Structure 1
Amino acid sequence: MLTQTLIKLFKRDLNKLITEVNLYKDESNLWLTSKEVSNSAGNLCLHIIGNLSTFIGAEFGNTGYIRQRDLEFSLKDVPRTDMVAQVKEVITIVENTLSSLTEDDLQKEYSRRVFEDTMTTEYFLVHLSMHLAYHLGQINYHRRLLDF
């Protein structure tokens, strides 16, 4: 079933996120921006945590998580250890939540916003995986460009 594939992909990429965050030579470099790079790796990491905690955790897993999206981009200098711990929590949430979904759940209609085109839950979960991969690539590039 697709959920097992998604669990593997989310776990792979979230573990790679932990690796990327830990590869920064200087923890303060996680928060660097430049004229060409407006989002720091730290903020992108917080955004990934918030995104998956919201859509997989709260919406599909009923975790009760309440998103504060503006803080994902405005908080600075969150300790690396705190971010890594939060990513590890997200891995557990993703695995537990996706394991509980049935094939019928995946085919249900899902709409993020009123008047927006609808999609299946399956489609949205694939989208979330791609969203994670996109930002993971940005973090990797950020590290190689600005971590000196």
Structure 2
Amino acid sequence: MSEIILECMRRLDQSLGYVELALAKLTEEKVWLRPRPKMNAIGNLCLHVAGSEYQHLVSGIGGRAADRDRPSEFLTRGGIPPEGLLGMMREVREESWSVIRGLTEGDLQRVVAVHYPESSGMEGYSWSIQKILIGAAEHYAYHTGQIVFAAKLLQEEEIHLLNWQHYD
């Protein structure tokens, strides 16, 4: 498997690990707390990254049906506990790995279509697999940063979620 494929998947796995650490410290109520009505809760961001990963890696690259309901990722107001969100995210990751394991260096420049349902209000596009992998890793990392930051604000204890040294 090519270095770029492995690195993108390593970063996706790393980001999922950070989300797992962040959600482990939160109650369901806190996972679904919206700081302001127009802002997303951590739970919405989890649904969004799982939906986006599925759409791009499993559906776009893997050719499986695109059954994503993007609007509901942002409209959901609760009802899924942290472990349920993580289970969903892990399941999508397993599906992504099953698609990605079959790729070769020669596949990176192959262009695939990413489709959105009409109800999403988004237009589809065609990108190279390499661009999809890089974009997926970047998108996931961006929202992971939001999730970790929000979790730090909401946690009961004053601890460093990622065990990185920060200076006071």
| Contact 1:32/1:146, CA 8 A, preserved across alignment | no
The percentage of aligned residue pairs carrying the same residue is 25
- Cross-structure match for 1:15: 17
C-alpha distance 91-51 of structure 1, shift in aligned 2 (>3 A): same
How large is the RMSD of aligned CA atoms in angstroms?
2.1
Aligned structure 1 segments of 4 or more residues deviating by more than 4 angstroms: 110-114
| Contact 1:61/1:93, CA 8 A, preserved across alignment | no
- Greater helix percent: which structure? 1
* Cα separation, 2, equivalents of 1:31 and 1:66: 24
TM score, norm. by length of structure 2: 0.76
Unaligned runs of 5+ in 1: none
- When Rg is computed on C-alpha atoms for both structures, the one with the higher figure is 2
- Cross-structure match for 2:151: 143
1:34 and 2:44 are equivalent in the alignment: no
| Contact 1:18/1:87, CA 8 A, preserved across alignment | no
1:61 and 2:69 are equivalent in the alignment: no
Alignment of 1:1-148 (within 5 A): 1=2, 2-24=4-26, 26-35=27-36, 38-77=39-78, 78-110=80-112, 112=114, 113=123, 119-148=127-156
Q: Secondary structure at the match of 2:35?
A: coil
| Contact 1:110/1:119, CA 8 A, preserved across alignment | yes
Q: What is the CA distance between 1:111 and its match in structure 2?
A: 5.4
Unaligned runs of 5+ in 2: 115-122, 157-168
- The Cα offsets for residues 40-68 of structure 1, whole Å up to 9 and x where unpaired, read as 10000000111111111112123334000
* Cα separation, 2, equivalents of 1:124 and 1:88: 19
- The Cα offsets for residues 55-98 of structure 1, whole Å up to 9 and x where unpaired, read as 11112123334000011011122122211111111221121111
How many residue pairs match? The answer is: 145
